[in-house]
Amino acid sequence: MDAQITLDQVGMVFDTGKEKIRALEPMDLSIKEGNFLAVVGPSGCGKSTLMRLLTGLTHPSEGTITIDGKNISGPTQDVGMAFQNASLMPWRTALDNVLVSFEVSPQHRRAYAKDPAPFVETAMALLTEVGLAQFADRFPWELSGGMQQRVNVCRSIVHAPRLAMLDEPFGALDAFTREALWAIMQRLWVERGFTAVLITHDLREAVYLADKVIVMSARPGRIVHAQTIDLPRPRTLEMTYSDAFQTHVHTLREQIQTEHDAT
Amino acid sequence: MNTRTIERAMPWAVTIGLFVIWELSCIFFELPVFILPAPSDIWVEAVKFAPELAYHSAQTLYTTLVGFALAVAVGVALGAAIGSSRMVYRGLYPVLIGFNSIPKVALVPILVIWFGIGTVPAVLTAFVISFFPIAVNVATGLATIERDMTDVLRSLGATRRDILIKVGLPCTMPYLFASLKVAITLAFVGSVIAETVASNKGIGYLMLSASANYNVPLVFAGLLVLAVLGVLMYAATAVLEMRTSAWAFRDSHLVQ
């Protein structure tokens, strides 16, 4: 299968007026359709910049990004995003927060405006799948942090985007909630087959979810290591204690340590 | 009596208590009526002049509300412009602050030269005194929108208009209503200032002519009518606020 997303010598320099700060060294990267890519690296290594570039929210200062062979020049459509901060709208219920994806997406908005019923059904089915059926009409502040993140993840994939961009969506949660959400995330990804890019600090999370993990260096960011994770799916929490899993985590850890020591 | 009932009774208890202290002080210190009339004196005068009070307070209420409506329209538009464009912000903000620093009473004579005495200067004074907090708060509200939230919507393919309607406006609502509560009371101040300086109608005019006749209790009656109107208008905007942006007050102990 051809690569769905290709980065060709893409680099990023921020111009603050006083000085130019290089956030990303020119890099090449390709992501195949339906793959799960994880990006790990020390703080401030340009992971989030990379993600904003991939969704077209920021333009690269050099190089080109192509999705399905087309250069991207503005915010891409058919993408779902989830951030560490659940950023739900406090004036909308959980269900309405998920439905916003249909309300604004160019593919669905007209059909949604005409007859929202099937879309509400889709959203409810997804909320049910992540265990939030009884909480659909609750407001965000009535939900726990883990529940809010589940709503956030639902919002990012309910409209069946071909690409889901996940910027540390589980970063602020406690360990148990985080592990429960890994399983939910994996199940949704296996069922729906979208392409996913996950940015994370958590190496176990990266190895658990991804097909391929790339390690980025400290600023200016560049790819210093890429590792294919060939563990069978569906992966379980039990597997995270296996030797094969631990070996992957160790290798990544060493790469990051090398990067860390270098600075 | 439980805590809740006591809490409900608090505003009335404090208000009545203040009047009782006032009345007793007037009796105890034997204050002359033309210095500080007792509430009972004010009440007698208010009943005697009830038709005049009603007529003039209707006029004040009218000019205040028209001025306030203008202030909301202009304030929201200005605030939206300042809050969504850096250029407009840079250009307009210093001018607005300069304008707001001018004592509005100084504008009334100019307004009278332009429009004559009466309703129009009162409406305009109410307007110029109350649009500033609205504009500033709407701009602040727009500035507080989380970038993550707009990024999520933009990546879904939302237009600028979508983002303004679905995120910008709701985010701004609590700020807008907070400013409306300030603005409505300021609008009263504006109207009364203009009526005092240049009008033949309104509570401000009534109070001025009452004091010219040394009818101090009637002056105080006018003040009390203003206070009551102010509280009522404030309460009306507060109710509107609770209806439209209750989500912003979820943690506040000031509302139930």
Output the tens digit of pLDDT for each of chain B's 256 residues: 688 888 889 989 999 999 999 999 999 998 888 889 999 999 999 999 999 999 999 999 999 999 999 999 999 999 988 888 888 889 988 998 899 899 988 999 999 999 988 899 999 999 999 999 999 999 988 888 888 888 888 888 888 888 888 888 888 888 999 899 999 999 999 999 999 988 889 999 999 999 999 999 999 999 999 999 999 999 999 888 888 777 777 655 444 4
- Residues of B near A (CB-CB distance < 8 A)? 146, 148-149, 151-159, 162, 166-167, 170, 173, 245, 247-248, 250-251
Of A90, A104, A141, which is closest to B153 when you measure between CB atoms? A104
Q: What's the pLDDT at B72?
A: 95
Distance CA A35, CA A212 (A): 8
* CATH topology classification for B39-249: MetI-like fold (1.10.3720)
Instruction: Please give the Cα distance from B27 to A123 (Å, whole number).
Output: 71
How many angstroms separate the Cα of B124 from the Cα of each of A30, B99, B112, B115, B184? Answer: 64, 14, 10, 10, 14
Residue A93 — φ and ψ, nearest 5°?
-70, 170
Q: Do residues A103 and B166 lie in contact, with contact meaning Cβ atoms separated by under 8 Å? A: yes
Beta bridge partners of A96: none
Q: Whole-prediction pTM value?
A: 0.76
> Looking at chain A from residue 73 to 102, which residues have their Cβ under 8 Å from any Cβ of chain B?
75-83, 85, 87, 89-91, 100-101
Q: Which helix or strand (DSSP H or E) is residue B147 part of? A: helix B147-156
Beta carbons within 10 angstroms of residue A106's beta carbon: 12
Provide the token pair at A138. Answer: 């609750």
CB–CB of B206/B199 below 8 Å? no
Interface contact flag, A77 B156, Cβ < 8 Å? yes
Q: Are A7 and A27 in contact, with CB atoms under 8 Å apart?
A: yes
Three-state SS letters, A15-64: ECCCCEEEEEEEEEEEEECCCEEEEECCCCCCHHHHHHHHCCCCCCCEEE
Rounded to 10°, the helix B169-197/B108-115 angle is: 80
Q: What percent of chain A has pLDDT over 90?
A: 25
In terms of C-beta distances under 8 Å and separation of at least 24 residues, what long-range contacts does B23-31 make, across chains too?
A: none
**CB-based contact B157 A155, cutoff 8 Å:** no
When scoring A76, A89, A197 by the number of chain B Cβ atoms within 10 A, the one with the most, hence best to mutate, is: A89
A124 touches chain B (CB under 8 A): no
The minimal CB distance from B154 to the residues A75, A85, A139 is found for A75
Element (H, E) at A7: strand A3-15
Size of interface A-B (CB pairs under 8 A): 69
Question: CB–CB of A65/A76 below 8 Å?
Answer: no
**CA distance to partner chain B, nearest, from residue A249 (Å):** 30
Three-class SS of B37-86 = CCHHHHHHHHHHCHHHHHHHHHHHHHHHHHHHHHHHHHHHHHHHHHHHCH
Two tokens at A20?
A: 């130019």
Domains plus CATH for chain A?
Answer: 3-78+163-262 (3.40.50.300), 89-161 (no CATH)
Contact criterion met (CB < 8 Å) for B170 and A91: yes
CA dihedral B143, B149, B152, B154 (to 10 degrees): -30
Q: Which of B55, B73, B181, B57 minimizes the C-alpha distance to B127?
A: B73
- Looking at residue B30, its amino acid is E
- Tell me whether residues B155 and A57 touch, CB distance under 8 A: yes
- Mutation pick from A92, A104, A108 vs chain B, by most beta carbons of B within 10 Å, is A104
